[in-house]
Structure 1
Amino acid sequence: MTMRIGDLARLSGVSPRLLRYYEEQGLLTSHRIGGGHRRYDADAPVVVGHIRALLAAGLPTNVIRDVLPCVQGPGPELEHCAAPTLQEQLRRLDGRIFTLQNARAALTDLLANATSPTQS
């Protein structure tokens, strides 16, 4: 059984435009039928759910493309093959958090040392 893009949008709660973007990024597969209309396999709503969960975890689409083959079930549940990629993403995220914390501390110091505006 296959479904049209409008059906997938309704079932997944994701706009057709975003579904086309997922397809352009290599995250979602469709089959073309007469007139170039897209048709998606019956498991497409589950795949879209996986994509949404991985996006919610802050993963960029290029990483999701690499990790998606390691995703199983509706959960999603990740197989061990996803671990190295996710560990690298976590290291990068920790680095960004560290940098932001330092910038916040520096800004807090600047504000603490700022002189109050002169009153006229």
Structure 2
Amino acid sequence: MRIGELAAASGVSARALRHYEEQEVLVPERGSGGYREYTADDVVRVQQIKAMISAGLGTATIRRYLDCVRSGEHGLALELCPELRAELEALAGRLGAQEQEIREKQQRLSELLTEG
């Protein structure tokens, strides 16, 4: 399938697919004439990439750990390599700290609003 067909099948824009290719997380075959050729496996791969991006991982991290991702009958699952587990735990810690900072700012804003 061509890039437009993969975009339609995966729900990701052709532009995003080209970005994934530039970041080396999606590597299509090249057919005659140099056109990108994608397979059904690439649809699954794009879904895996989307899931990892939505969880807050950058493409550099995804590139390192994409081989740890599996798609099973119950959807996407991560085979937690020790290094990937550490990355995810660090991300969760950063998100927790950001949440706390947001709560503190909300509290200060509430205090300012009630003082006025």
SS, match of residue 77 in structure 1: strand
Counterpart of 1:24 in structure 2 is: 22
Q: What's the counterpart of residue 10 of structure 2?
A: 12
- Matched AA of 2:104: A
* Alignment partner, residue 80 of structure 1: 80
Secondary structure in structure 1 of the residue aligned to 2:38: strand
In structure 1, how many angstroms separate the alpha carbons of the residues matched to 2:14 and 2:102? 39
The share of aligned pairs that are identical, in percent, is: 41
Deviation, structure 1 residue 33: 2.2
Aligned counterparts of 1:106 and 1:62: Cα–Cα separation in 2: 31
Say how many residue pairs are matched. 113
Task: Supply the distance in 2 between the matched residues of 1:15 and 1:95 (Cα, whole angstroms).
Answer: 29
Classify 1:112/1:26 alpha carbon distance in 2 versus 1 (closer, same or farther; 3 Å): same
Deviation readout 1:13-38 (Å, 9 max, x if unpaired)? 11111111111111111122233211
Q: Distance in 2 between matches of 1:28 and 1:61?
A: 10
Gaps of 5+ in 2: none
Can you give the 5+ residue segments of structure 1 that lack an aligned partner in the other structure?
Answer: none
How far apart are residue 90 of structure 1 and its match?
2.4
Pair 1:37–1:98, CA change in 2 (3 A): same
Q: TM-score, normalised by structure 1?
A: 0.76
Change (3 A) 1:14 1:110: closer
Deviating more after overlay: 101-110 vs 83-92: 101-110
Q: Does residue 48 in structure 1 map to residue 46 in structure 2?
A: yes
Give the match's secondary structure for 2:27: coil
